[in-house]
């Protein structure tokens, strides 16, 4: 028995040593990346450690985007193709859900409008029958026809009564649905009109970022953008003006990184939060955006219109509230628009 016990202990010792050796080998293999993506990932991790930031998934994603900007175009394409294979995140799923809800709301509204039209037509039929009945009463020889019309009138009246109840019921359902949709809209994060996030989501993200800045002492910036009033006044058509504003939103998304937050602040004003981006980097981003918008072709009735935007920049800081930072960026944007020589203005 002692020999068997010693043998088992020896086997356990060998297994433990083998596991330790395997663990050591695997760790060593990870420390020597071979593919371009592995080498790049290690560079990102080293940058996080060098900047004394915790290597959390969020911080890794932020540095991943920032460092990738300085890499070759071939590497960016290679990594971009890999990222496209990843599944969408929860926010994208929420956006799709919101779109479906709004489509459902539109369908219910259309049904109610159609029912209301049908009810109006039935009411009109009742009035016509009443008028014809009055006319027939003056002709005694048509008593049979009068009876027929009276019977028909009763049938139409019954049908009208049923329709009134149905329409009333549908109206109640519509009001309940409208209340539910309104509650959902109060929790939405997406601006369906321009295809970007909404003001509510923007403010939430800004508040979260200020807390992170307070914790980790990094730099982040906010830019606000709108089409200049002079550009908007070139055309009188509201539809054309809306298309120009949508173009600005599309170009904002095109220049943004995955870690940036692009949102519609309201009244055609857009905001983009640039995480881990200081003022100088925000200036360069604004220059790229300004050049991209200015070089974009926008045609109305075969006439090309050169788009011009005003940009305001503000640093996200714990020294002021999110509302104050927004006001700072908006005032800088107004100042940039009032001075045609400026592409952007930095608020203090």
Going by pLDDT thresholds of 50, 70 and 90, the confidence category of residue 87 is very low
Q: What is the pLDDT of residue 335?
A: 97
**Mean pLDDT throughout 110-132?**
80
Cα dihedral 323/325/330/336 (nearest 10): 170
Torsion angle of the four alpha carbons 16, 21, 23, 26, in this order, in degrees rounded to the nearest 10: -160
**Rounded Cα distance, 344 and 223, in Å:** 9
- Measured CA to CA, the distance from residue 69 to residue 258 in angstroms comes to 12
The conformational region for residue 266 under phi > 0 = left, psi -120 to 50 = alpha, else beta, is: left
CA distances from 237 to 232, 296, 300, 341 (A): 10, 20, 10, 28
Averaged pLDDT score across all residues of the chain = 82
User: Is residue 31 very low, low, confident or very high in pLDDT (cuts 50, 70, 90)?
Assistant: low
Burial 163-191 (b: 16+ CB within 10 A, else e): beeebeebeeebeebeeebeeeeeebbbb
Q: What is the pLDDT of residue 74?
A: 87
Nearest to 232 by CA among 162, 153, 298: 298
What is the percentage of the chain residues whose pLDDT exceeds 90?
41
pLDDT of residue 251: 96
> How confident is the model over 4-9, as a mean pLDDT?
45
Residue 311 · residue 344 · CB < 8 Å: yes
| pLDDT given at position 157 | 81
Which residues lie below 8 Å from residue 137, measured CB to CB, with a gap of 6+? 146
> pLDDT value at position 7?
43
Cα torsion for 321, 322, 326, 328, to the nearest 10°? Answer: 30
pLDDT digits (tens, 9 = 90+) for 206-255: 999 999 899 888 999 999 999 999 999 988 889 999 999 999 999 999 99
pLDDT tens digit sequence for 154-206: 777 877 887 787 788 778 878 887 777 777 777 788 999 999 999 999 999 99
Strand partners, 273: 222, 261
The whole-angstrom separation of Cα 291 and Cα 308 is 9
**Residue 26: pLDDT over 50:** no
pLDDT exceeds 50 at position 22: no
pLDDT (mean) for 300-314: 91
Confidence at 15, pLDDT banded by 50, 70, 90: very low
Report residue 136's pLDDT band, with 50, 70 and 90 as the boundaries: confident
The model's pTM is 0.64
Contact indicator for 254, 197 with CB cutoff of 8 Å? no
Q: What is the 3-state secondary structure (H, E, C) of 179-197?
A: HHHHHHHCCCCEECCCCEE
Q: How big is the chain, counted in residues?
A: 348
For residue 220, give the H/E element and its range. strand 220-227
Q: Give the lowest-confidence range in 22-26, 79-83, 122-126, 266-270.
A: 22-26
Mean pLDDT of 122-133: 79
Mean predicted confidence (pLDDT) in 131-160:
72
Instruction: State the sign of the Cα–Cα–Cα–Cα dihedral 84, 205, 309, 276.
Output: negative
Q: Report the C-alpha gap between 207 and 84 in whole angstroms.
A: 29
Q: How confident is the model at residue 33 (pLDDT cuts 50, 70, 90)?
A: low
* pLDDT beyond 90 at 104: no
Whole-number Cα distances in Å, 79 to 4, 38, 41, 85, 253: 56, 11, 11, 10, 19
User: What was the pLDDT predicted at 267?
Assistant: 96
Q: By percentage, how much of the chain surpasses pLDDT 70?
A: 84
Please, is 292 exposed, middle or buried when counting C-beta atoms within 10 Å of its C-beta (0-12, 13-18, 19+)? middle
Confidence of residue 85 (pLDDT cuts 50, 70, 90): low
Task: State the pLDDT confidence band at 84, using cuts at 50, 70 and 90.
Answer: low
> Rounded to whole angstroms, how far apart are CA atoms 120 and 60?
62
């Amino acid at each position: 028995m002692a020999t068997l016990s010693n043998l088992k202990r020896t086997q356990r010792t060998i297994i433990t040593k083998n596991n330790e050796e395997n663990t050591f080998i695997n760790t060593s293999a990870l420390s020597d990346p071979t593919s371009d993506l592995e080498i790049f990932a290690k560079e990102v991790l080293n940058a996080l450690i060098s900047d004394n930031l915790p290597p959390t998934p969020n911080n890794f994603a932020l540095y991943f985007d920032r460092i990738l900007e300085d890499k070759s175009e071939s590497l960016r394409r290679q990594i971009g193709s890999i990222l496209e294979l990843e599944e969408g995140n929860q926010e994208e799923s929420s956006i799709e859900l919101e779109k479906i809800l709004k489509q459902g709301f539109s369908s219910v509204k259309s049904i109610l409008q159609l029912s209301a039209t049908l009810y109006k037509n039935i009411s009109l039929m009742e009035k016509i029958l009443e008028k014809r009945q009055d006319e027939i009463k003056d002709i005694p020889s048509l008593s049979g026809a009068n009876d027929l019309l009276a019977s028909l009138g009763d049938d139409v009246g019954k049908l009208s009564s049923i329709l009134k109840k149905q329409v009333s019921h549908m109206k109640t359902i519509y009001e309940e649905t409208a209340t539910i949709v309104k509650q959902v809209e109060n929790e939405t994060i997406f601006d369906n009109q321009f295809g970007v996030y909404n003001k509510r989501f923007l403010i939430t993200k800004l508040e979260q970022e200020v807390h992170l800045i307070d914790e980790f002492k990094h730099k982040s910036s906010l830019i606000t953008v709108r089409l200049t009033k002079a550009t908007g006044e070139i055309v009188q058509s509201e539809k054309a003006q809306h298309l120009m504003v949508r173009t600005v939103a599309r170009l904002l998304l095109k220049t943004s990184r995955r870690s940036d937050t692009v949102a519609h602040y309201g009244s055609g004003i857009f905001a983009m939060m640039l995480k881990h981006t200081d003022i100088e980097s925000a200036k360069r981003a604004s220059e790229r955006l300004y050049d991209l918008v200015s070089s974009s072709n926008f045609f109305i009735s075969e006439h090309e219109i050169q788009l011009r935007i005003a940009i305001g920049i503000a640093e996200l800081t714990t020294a002021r509230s999110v509302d104050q930072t927004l006001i700072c960026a908006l005032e800088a944007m107004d100042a940039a628009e009032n001075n045609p020589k400026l592409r952007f203005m930095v608020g203090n």
